Amino acid sequence: MAAVRTSNCRTELGDVTPHNLKQLRKLNTVVFPVTYNDKFYDDVLGLGDLAKLAYFNDIVVGAVCCRVDTSENKRRLYIMTLGCLRPYRRHGIGGLLLAHVVKMAKDDGNINSIYLHVQVNNEEALAFYQKHGFRIKERKERYYKRIEPADAFVLEKEVKDLLAITDN
């Protein structure tokens, strides 16, 4: 596990396994307004380092799940989910998860960019990603099926800009 220590608190990233998959499912239920199906969680088990849980003093408080997308004649890393429980936000956990994603993209060597969808009214997430150099590329109308507002912004960061991302 990768670990970061702040005062007496320890933050670590750990693998998603069949033994802790229920913790990821519960975390996602609390953090995100959408429900992910069983296939999503089955697929997550096969992602390896592209799926990580964030532990704060051995408690699961955040997670990231990504996949490689080869659409539009580009090889991009798509952040399917990246979230942290509200009481643990602003402690560097989201930054640690994002830094892990950036490392995966850099280590791959063939990734053009990292991108994700964010609900248009999620100002906290938009501010977080923009702070880390992501830019709004487009607005997808009616992207979400069962939540309002249904529109999403597509945010993207080019690989050439990845060196500017910090773990703040």
Active site residues: 78, 117
Place of tokens 């996602």: 28
Q: What is the DSSP letter of 131?
A: H
Structure tokens at 96: 């640690």
On the CB side of 4, CA atoms within 13 Å amount to 17
Structure tokens at 73: 């004649």
As a whole number of angstroms, the distance between CA 44 and CA 123 comes to 27
Q: Other CB atoms closer than 10 Å to residue 44's CB: what's the count? A: 22
As a whole number of angstroms, the distance between CA 128 and CA 85 comes to 15
